[in-house]
Chains A and B, each alone.
Chain A
Amino acid sequence: MSSPAVTYFEDVEVGSRHETPAMTVTQAHVNMYAGVTGDHAPEAGLAPPLFALCLSTGLGWRIARPPLVVIAFMGIDWKIERPLRVGDTVRSRSQTMVKRSMREAGVVVEEHQIVDQGGDVLQHGRFTFLVAKKEALT
């Protein structure tokens, strides 16, 4: 049985960019998100701001590439520039900014943007991950 392909710290390339497929945000998304989390939209017709942030990671999984072997999601530094409206079609763009080797794993910092159908950046910021090393497993 072979393991699925994954990306370890050693194979992360600083500067690499990815863009996800787009998704149209519907009232159903907003209702389900609000129901699960208890976090509601500030007004009718808008999505809760954190919902867009949550989509950023979910959309990332739709890129056909071996996923990062994330040990821990360490932190977020995030800015919200424009509201996400029901009916907007958004995609996520990311770029690897920094990789820093630690003893048994490595830190990877990615810049993420949530972009709407008109190309406007709604939200953006940095995600910091702790990523497994190949050598630590052998």
Chain B
Amino acid sequence: MTGPPRRYFEEIEVGETYESPGRTVTETDIVLFAGVSGDYNVIHTDAEFMKTSIFGERIAHGLLGLSIQSGLLTRWMTPYASLGVAGLRWKFKNPIKIGDTIRVRAEVTGKKETSADQGVVTLARTVVNQRDEVVQEGETDVIVERRRE
């Protein structure tokens, strides 16, 4: 059985860029993410308290933004023959508010063979909102299968 096309380590080139579709982050997303993760911090869940904060309203969990961009990027690119993520270095630059539409741009900035059957591809990612302001950015190290000869 052959599945959908996947790209192996050898086929990925440093300098390749990708851009995801946009996604509007809703109140529902934040409420559901609080339920799934267990993170009910008031900054995500207490609308009245947040009226008095510097943000003026509830903001999305930073990790919700991180998770959404991960899902978004894979929607518009041929998937890597990926075995998972080895690590990430990430900065939360600006809040994501209810109704913001985010997308992610990524570039392959590094490749390293780590064993006979896999390598690590480093992607620099920038998550922007509808005003093109950077809300999150960082690097992820993705483990990718090498093509078997």
- The answer to whether A40 and B39 touch across the interface, beta carbons within 8 angstroms, is no
Asked whether, in the complex, the Cβ of A57 is within 8 Å of the Cβ of B87, the reply is no
Give 4 nearest A-B pairs by CB, closest first. Answer: A38-B71, A58-B38, A37-B67, A58-B37
Minimum distance in angstroms from B56 CB to a CB of chain A: 14
Q: Given the complex of chains A and B, what is the CA–CA distance between A122 and B50 in angstroms?
A: 35
Q: Is A53 an interface residue (CB 8 A)?
A: yes
- Check B67 against A77 for contact (C-beta < 8 Å): no
Q: A42-B82, A75-B91 are in contact. List 16 more A-B contacts (CB 8 A).
A: A37-B33, A37-B70, A38-B67, A38-B75, A39-B71, A40-B71, A42-B83, A46-B84, A50-B66, A50-B70, A53-B63, A54-B39, A58-B38, A71-B54, A77-B90, A78-B87
Q: Which of B55-99 contact A (CB under 8 A)?
A: 61-64, 66-68, 70-72, 74-75, 82-92
Identity of the chain A residue whose Cβ is nearest the Cβ of B59 in the assembled complex? A72
A-B contact pairs, 13 of them (CB 8 A): A29-B36, A36-B36, A38-B70, A42-B82, A42-B84, A49-B85, A57-B38, A58-B37, A74-B92, A75-B89, A77-B88, A80-B85, A125-B87
Beta-carbon contact of A75 and B92 below 8 Å: yes
Q: A50-B85, A80-B87 are in contact. Are A39 and B67 (CB under 8 A)?
A: yes
* Cβ B32 vs Cβ A70 within 8 A: no
Give Cα A37 to B127, complex, Å. 15
How far is A138 from B87 in the complex, measured between Cα atoms in Å? 41
The binding surface of chain A is classed by DSSP as mixed
Give A40 to B88 CA distance when docked, in angstroms.
17
- A49-90 interface with B by 8 A CB criterion: 49-51, 53-55, 57-59, 61-62, 67, 70-80, 83
| B29 CB-CB contact with A under 8 Å | yes
Chain B residue at minimum C-beta to C-beta distance from A49: B85
Q: Is A8 interfacial (CB-CB < 8 Å)?
A: no
